[in-house]
């Protein structure tokens, strides 16, 4: 038996070498047709990869859907639902599309759940800081005080029968930047499923969502056989957690998931420097300044990206203790928090399931 196994390994090794030096001209029975597309949408780079015979059409349809959501829900595109609400809903209720209504409604849910720390009416403050402009700046304290008075999710009135939104104070404005990207990721996956796609991932600038499991490649399969290991044909996707102190694409930890959304919020996403101090884009609606919660990164793992999007921002705003308490109260939600001292804390469901790949970080 040992003789057979030894010679089988030799045959597999020769076959693997032959495949490599033939330029991979042999058909890989383990791999499917795949398509990947990248586009700049929702003020970030969006990348979608899908596997299957209709992958090309499916990915394009998913991209089109994301573009549609941006055109509908951006606060900065004239004629969008949210633009119309912010400009016309002081005098009368403004009717919006059903999906816009649902996202606003979900945003208000998280605004209430966090007692206003996450607040979709933060737009006046975002505009004052110029967060979405090419020239952000630190406002005068008096201006901040004036703007804070216009913020408050209680100032939004909704009518489910008419699909209308009304703002109860002039100067109040809605910004769905903390939740709409998550909804767009969910919609991208829904569209892919309509085309029969069973394996895919979408990355919307830190909002990652995966469909199904990933098939292993031919090289990995043969390598595992030569090591005498039995490897599953399908495996969870390995998602890297961004190192908040280093450039994009450098990871400090890895989690393995399938059919999940992994969304990270942190100050490294958007920031600017003024007079030697760095200011980030996640603003505290109570102080009017970038939040200082002690966290430098907050990641949520959930079944859908819209909830993960809102909760990751909420977690970053609330800080380690209050944020952990909130997340632990939500069924099916897991979290990864990183503080300024490079200490990592995770929810109970992730204990033993996260792999720290950078020795500078310590799991608390």
For residue 359, CA distances in Å to 2, 228, 341 come to 40, 30, 13
- Report the pLDDT value the prediction gives residue 145, as an integer from 0 to 100: 94
Contact 317, 287 (CB under 8 A): no
Could you tell me the CA-to-CA distances from 144 to 122, 129, 253, 267, 331 in Å, in that order? 12, 9, 37, 20, 37
**CA angle at residue 293 from 354 to 143, to 5 degrees?**
140
- For residue 364, the SS3 value is coil
Q: Quickly count helices (H) and strands (E) in the chain.
A: 10, 19
Domain membership flag for residue 280: yes
Q: Give the single-character DSSP code of 19.
A: H
Q: What is the DSSP letter of 246?
A: S
| 305-318 and 98-113 helices, crossing angle to 10° | 30
Report if residue 239 sits inside a domain.
yes
**pLDDT tens-digit readout, 44-102:** 999 999 999 999 999 999 999 999 999 999 999 999 999 999 999 998 999 999 999 99
pLDDT band at residue 218 under the 50/70/90 scheme: low
Q: What count of other Cβ atoms lies within 10 Å of the Cβ of residue 57?
A: 14
Examine residue 36 and state whether it is found in any structural domain, yes or no.
no
Residue 83: count of CB within 10 angstroms of its CB:
20
pLDDT number for residue 101? 98
> What percentage of the chain exceeds 70 in pLDDT?
87
338 token code pair: 């990183």
Of 88, 66, 86, 67, the closest CA to residue 75 belongs to 86
In a domain, 247, yes or no: yes
**Does 225 reside within a domain?**
no
Long-range contacts for 245-254 (Cβ within 8 Å, ≥24 apart)? Answer: 245/296, 245/342, 251/357, 251/358, 252/338, 252/344, 252/356, 252/357, 252/358, 252/360, 252/361, 253/336, 253/344, 253/354, 253/355, 253/356, 253/357, 253/358, 253/361, 254/354, 254/355, 254/357
CB 94 within 8 A of CB 85: yes
Least confident among 60-74, 112-126, 344-358: 344-358
User: Is residue 200 within 8 Å of 328, Cβ to Cβ?
Assistant: no
Task: Determine the pLDDT at residue 15.
Answer: 46
Domain span at residue 276 reads 231-258+260-364
DSSP assignment of 106-133: HHHHHHHHTTTSS-TTBHHHHHHHTTTS
Q: What is the largest CA-CA distance in the chain?
A: 85
CA distance 29 to 300: 35
Instruction: Indicate if the pLDDT at residue 352 is higher than 90.
Output: no
Structure tokens that stand for 133 in this block: 């402009």
Dist. CA 210–CA 350, nearest whole Å: 18
**Tell me, what CATH number does 315's domain have?**
3.10.520.10
* Domain-located, residue 251: yes
pTM above 0.85, yes or no: yes
165-202 in b/e burial notation, b at 16+ Cβ within 10 A? bbbeeeebbbbbbbbbbbbbbbbbbebbeebebebbbb
Work out the number of other CB atoms within 10 angstroms of the CB of residue 237.
21
Answer yes or no: are the C-beta atoms of 293 and 301 closer than 8 Å. Answer: no
**CA angle, 117 then 123 then 126, to 5°:** 90
Does residue 91 fall inside a structural domain? no
Instruction: Write out pLDDT tens, residues 264-287.
Output: 998 877 778 878 788 788 999 999
Worst-scoring range by mean pLDDT, 49-58, 80-89, 120-129, 212-221? 212-221
Predicted confidence (pLDDT) per residue in 168-185, tens digit: 999 999 999 999 999 999
Residues of the chain with pLDDT > 90, as a percent, come to 74
H helices within the chain, ranges in order? 2-21, 55-73, 81-88, 98-113, 123-129, 141-148, 180-194, 218-226, 305-318, 320-328
Total domain count, the chain: 1
pLDDT confidence of residue 232: 67
Residues in the chain: 364
The confidence score (pLDDT) of residue 200 equals: 97
Residue 78 lies in a domain: no
């Amino acid at each position: 038996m040992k003789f057979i196994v030894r010679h089988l390994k030799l045959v597999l090794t020769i076959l693997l070498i032959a495949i490599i030096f033939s330029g991979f001209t042999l058909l890989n029975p383990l791999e499917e047709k795949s398509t990947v597309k990248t586009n700049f949408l929702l003020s970030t780079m969006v990348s979608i990869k899908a596997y299957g015979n209709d992958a090309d059409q499916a990915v394009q349809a998913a991209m089109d859907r994301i573009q549609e959501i941006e055109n509908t829900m951006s606060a900065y595109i004239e004629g969008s639902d949210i633009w119309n609400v912010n400009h016309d809903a002081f005098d009368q209720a403004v009717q919006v599309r059903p999906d816009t209504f649902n996202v606003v409604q979900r945003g208000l849910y998280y605004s209430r759940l966090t007692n206003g720390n996450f607040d979709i009416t933060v737009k006046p403050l975002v505009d004052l800081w110029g967060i979405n402009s090419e020239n952000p700046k630190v406002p005068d304290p008096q201006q901040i005080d004036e703007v804070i008075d216009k913020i408050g999710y209680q100032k939004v009135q909704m009518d489910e029968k008419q699909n209308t939104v009304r703002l109860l104070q002039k100067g109040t404005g809605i910004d769905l930047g903390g939740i709409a990207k998550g909804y767009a990721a969910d919609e991208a996956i829904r569209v892919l499923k309509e085309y029969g796609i069973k394996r895919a991932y979408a990355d919307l600038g830190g909002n990652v969502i995966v469909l199904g499991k990933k098939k292993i490649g031919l090289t990995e399969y043969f390598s595992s056989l030569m090591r005498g290991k039995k490897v599953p044909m399908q495996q969870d996707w390995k998602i890297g957690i961004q190192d908040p102190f280093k450039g994009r694409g450098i990871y400090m930890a890895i989690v393995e998931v399938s059919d999940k959304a992994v969304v990270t919020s942190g100050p490294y996403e958007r920031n600017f420097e003024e007079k030697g101090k760095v200011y980030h884009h996640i603003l505290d609606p109570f102080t009017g300044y970038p939040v200082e919660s002690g966290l430098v990164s907050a990641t949520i793992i959930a079944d859908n990206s819209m909830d993960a999007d809102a909760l990751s921002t909420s977690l970053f705003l609330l800080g380690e203790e209050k944020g952990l308490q909130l997340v632990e109260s939500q069924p099916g939600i897991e979290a990864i928090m990183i503080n300024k001292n490079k200490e990592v804390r995770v929810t109970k469901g992730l204990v033993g399931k996260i792999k720290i790949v950078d020795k500078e970080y310590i799991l608390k």
